[in-house]
């Protein structure tokens, strides 16, 4: 697997995670997720310098747990999932992007 396909698969994974987050989060948190989603779409559709692509990807990867926190908190507060399952889901959601 070359670097181009690995980078593209990481971008597609982040795109799907952000799309899921924007649809499942309350409306007040949706603009927070929309910014990284638009950044991922921007680097997928326009050719950029590799340094800029890496910088945007790192920022989105580090912001991903913060963006998913309200969704995971809602699931915990509603009592739909136990807290330990949510910690495992958060780790699984961010691990492939690293």
Tell me if 37 sits within 8 A of 19, measured CB to CB: yes
- Tell me what pLDDT residue 83 has: 65
Cα radius of gyration (the chain)? 14
Inform me whether the pLDDT recorded for 98 exceeds 60.
no
**pLDDT tens digit sequence for 47-78:** 888 888 888 888 888 888 787 777 767 766 77
Provide the token pair at 24.
């499942």
2 alpha carbon, distance to own chain's centre = 23
This prediction has a pTM of 0.68
Q: What is the pLDDT of residue 86?
A: 63
């Amino acid at each position: 697997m070359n670097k181009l396909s690995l980078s593209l698969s990481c971008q597609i994974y982040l795109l799907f995670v952000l799309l899921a987050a924007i649809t499942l989060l309350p409306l007040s948190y949706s603009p927070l997720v929309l910014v990284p989603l638009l950044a991922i779409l921007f680097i997928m559709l326009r050719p950029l310098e590799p340094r800029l692509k890496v910088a945007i990807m790192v920022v989105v990867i580090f912001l991903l747990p913060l963006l998913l926190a309200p969704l995971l908190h809602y699931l915990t507060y509603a009592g739909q999932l136990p807290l330990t399952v949510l910690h495992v889901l958060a780790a699984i959601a961010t691990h492939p992007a690293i």
